[in-house]
Amino acid sequence: MTARPAGAGAGVRPRGPRVSLPPVLMYHSISTSELPDPHRVRVHPGRLDRHLRLLRRLGLRGVSLGELVAAADRGRARGLVGLTFDDGYTDFLHEAVPVLARHGMTGTLYVVAGRLGGWNGWDDGPRLALLDADGVRAVAAAGHEVGSHTLTHVRLAGADPATLSREVAGSRRVLEDVLQAEVPGFCYPWGDFDEAAAEAVRSAGYDHACVTGDYRPGDRFTVPRCYVAPGDTGAHLVARLARHHLRVR
Ligand SMILES: [Zn+2]
């Protein structure tokens, strides 16, 4: 999960050109489970299907954050929406990928690289299974972007240089080894970051990174995202997108 504590990112100065991106939606688990969901991170696959159907009706296409940033670089991001899924749960492969495929859309899955095949031990909600290396490769093979969400889902604001290097650069090396491909995307766990964390992401060779919520201003290493709640109807989603757009533009 990535709920951002108040004040995260305070004082971080954008280094590159300010990015002007279409909205980026933030999902976590996509599941039919009826277990308690105290952190409100589970969206039913049927609801995801309705969200994506609505995006299509609005003339929008959901894409990975990598594709969104690349399109923005070419001035071609109009009509796109970023779709991101945090933490690397197994349900992404089994529940979200078929829905995305049905709508011809792609997304970015942010994986906790040191917990492959494990579970979400960083929070006190129900245990949720995380994809193993084969699962991560299957996600990439299905056309989705795999990004890093650190090695162990730690808070990066205030972290010492060794922790930043291990969690940020180390997780990239793990995923590149798993995928045998470059990993350009990063996502700050808990949405928690500061200037040193953003600099660690830049210097580790990533191309873009996203935060949580309506953070502004930002460069491509602090891309804001719009949280999607478990019960969001299409009307809620449109209202969130509109509100988010007003706050981050
Ligand atoms: Zn997370």
How far apart are the CA of 51 and the centre of ligand 1, in A? 21
How far apart are the CA of 75 and the centre of ligand 1, in A? 30
- Interval 150-179: pLDDT, tens: 999 999 999 999 999 999 999 999 999 999
**pLDDT computed for residue 6 by the predictor:** 39
**pLDDT computed for residue 15 by the predictor:** 61
Assess contact for 146 and 182: CB atoms under 8 A.
no
Straight-line distance from the first to the last Cα atom of the chain, in angstroms, rounded to the nearest whole number: 25
User: CA-CA distance, 35 to 97, in Å (whole number)?
Assistant: 22
Closest alpha carbon to 28 in 165, 198, 173, 232? 232
**pLDDT computed for residue 113 by the predictor:** 98
**pLDDT computed for residue 243 by the predictor:** 80
Least confident piece of the model among 11-20, 54-63, 144-153, 211-220: 11-20
How far from the centroid of its chain's Cα atoms is residue 136's Cα?
15
How far apart are the CA of 1 and the centre of ligand 1, in A? 3
How far from the centroid of its chain's Cα atoms is residue 88's Cα?
10
**pLDDT computed for residue 7 by the predictor:** 43
How far apart are the CA of 130 and the centre of ligand 1, in A? 12
**Length reported for the chain:** 249
**pLDDT computed for residue 149 by the predictor:** 98
- Interval 3-20: pLDDT, tens: 444 345 555 655 665 667
How far apart are the CA of 41 and the centre of ligand 1, in A? 10
Does residue 58 carry a pLDDT above 50?
Answer: yes
How far apart are the CA of 175 and the centre of ligand 1, in A? 16
- Interval 68-113: pLDDT, tens: 999 999 999 999 999 999 999 999 999 999 999 999 999 999 999 9
How far apart are the CA of 190 and the centre of ligand 1, in A? 6
User: CA-CA distance, 111 to 130, in Å (whole number)?
Assistant: 8
How far apart are the CA of 42 and the centre of ligand 1, in A? 13
Identify the three-state secondary structure at position 146.
strand
Q: Which domains does the chain have, with CATH numbers?
A: 24-248 (3.20.20.370)
User: CA-CA distance, 182 to 200, in Å (whole number)?
Assistant: 17
* Run of H or E including 86: strand 80-87
How far apart are the CA of 193 and the centre of ligand 1, in A? 13
Does residue 22 carry a pLDDT above 90?
Answer: no
- Interval 183-208: pLDDT, tens: 999 999 999 999 999 999 999 999 99
How far apart are the CA of 44 and the centre of ligand 1, in A? 18
